[in-house]
Amino acid sequence: MNALPNGARRRALLACATALAAAPWSTALAAGPEGKPIRLVVPFPAGGGTDVMGRLLAQTLGSELNSTVIVDNVPGATGTIGSAQVARSAPDGHTLLLGISATHAIAPALFKDLKYRPEQDFTAIARIAHGGNVLVANPRYPANSAPEMVALVKRSGEPLMYGSWGNGSGGHLAGESVRIATGIKMEHVPYKGVASLLQDLVGGQVQVAMADVAGALPLLRAGKIKALAVTGRKRSSALPQVPTLAEGGIAFDTESWFALFAPARLPEAEVQKLSQATAHALQRPEVVEKINSLGMEADPVSRADFAKQWHADIATWARIAKLSNVKMD
């Protein structure tokens, strides 16, 4: 550049400065603090609803932070292996976890040798989404609502066989909650996943099941199964015509949720940065639309309000697991 005339040299330097100012971040900064990417652990296999949520979060959070966020699927033991791995990670903002109510509220009640303590080993950054499950039935099942189902079981004197996507799952415990609240006889039929559960429900091998909303929606819309009620504090936006269990007089309004966690002792400045970035991400219309398509609600709350919900859910699921005598090895 020294060979250029003075005027040309000044114009070239000005062009370089303008280009650098227009660039969002340098290559080093784009990878996050100290040039390292952020690792977002999704404690379930690729391809499922939690993985879809994790990849959506990674993309939008990376954009908000001008950082590289890499999804790392660490499945096993209903999400507890990946969760334990993050609990043991350095609290430096480079390792995060997409936790769910099963890993951070239900697991402590089920696993005797759980390798982490949710309330002590994690910092809650933000709730990402929340929602309920749906109580579904074969179209030929005589009851068309949860109260009708309860009355039918009481008249028959026979136990209601209900399916869920596995022992100790949110669906299993939600079904147990119905049994406890109503006093009816119910027996659990565990499946290895929602797909096989719904397949048998359509085929009539099981008459009633507790399923996640996203998994049940296609069959509900096709009329191959019917919805009796949804769990949670309010009706699902995906199923606005279906009443909650509480509306049917069944006292159970605990819901499922996705939340962003970091290892405990993360510096407050880092917590605030991640919390604000997540809040901004959840305001994007395309993010809200995608979350709704998964049968969940993008309804941000303060960290304090989520902490209250989280701690209350831990106590609720512990009570239900104890009353149901549900334990996992």
pLDDT single digits (tens) 234-244:
999 899 999 99
β-strands 256-263, 95-100 pairing: antiparallel
CB 161 within 8 A of CB 178: no
Confidence of residue 304 (pLDDT cuts 50, 70, 90): very high
Cα torsion 245, 247, 249, 254 to 10°: value is 40
Mean pLDDT along residues 214-229: 95
How far, in Å, CA of 147 to CA of 326, rounded? 25
How far, in Å, CA of 66 to CA of 309, rounded? 31
- Residue 185: how many other CB atoms lie within 10 Å: 14
Residue among 326, 305, 258, 282 nearest 105 (CA): 258
What's the confidence (pLDDT) of residue 78? 85
β-strands 133-137, 226-230 pairing: antiparallel
pLDDT single digits (tens) 135-181:
999 999 999 999 999 999 999 999 999 999 988 889 999 999 999 99
What's the confidence (pLDDT) of residue 93? 95
Residue among 215, 320, 301 nearest 260 (CA): 301
Confidence of residue 327 (pLDDT cuts 50, 70, 90): confident
What's the confidence (pLDDT) of residue 127? 97
pLDDT single digits (tens) 174-207:
999 999 999 999 999 999 888 899 999 999 999 9
Give the burial string for 10-19 (b: 16+ CB within 10 Å, else e).
eeeeeeeeee
User: What percent of the chain has a predicted confidence (pLDDT) above 70?
Assistant: 89
Residue 84: pLDDT above 60? yes
Q: Higher pLDDT residue, 123 or 254?
A: 123
pLDDT single digits (tens) 104-140:
999 999 998 999 999 999 999 999 999 889 999 999 9
Handedness of CA 210, 261, 75, 214 (dihedral sign): positive
pLDDT single digits (tens) 43-74:
999 988 899 999 999 999 999 999 999 999 99
Decide: pTM greater than 0.85: no
Residue among 38, 126, 154 nearest 306 (CA): 126
Instruction: Give the CA count within 13 Å in the CB-facing half-sphere of 296.
Output: 23
Confidence of residue 35 (pLDDT cuts 50, 70, 90): low
Strand order in the sheet with 226-230: 186-190, 160-164, 208-212, 133-137, 226-230
What's the confidence (pLDDT) of residue 253? 85
What's the confidence (pLDDT) of residue 129? 95
Residue 28: pLDDT above 60? no
Residue 32: pLDDT above 70? no
How far are the Cα atoms of 3, 15, 20, 23, 225 from residue 9, in angstroms, in the given order?
9, 10, 17, 21, 73
β-pair partners for 135: 210, 229
Residue among 236, 245, 130 nearest 179 (CA): 245
Q: Average pLDDT, whole number, for the chain?
A: 88
pLDDT single digits (tens) 284-298:
999 999 998 888 999
Domains of the chain: 31-131+256-324 (3.40.190.150), 133-248 (3.40.190.10)
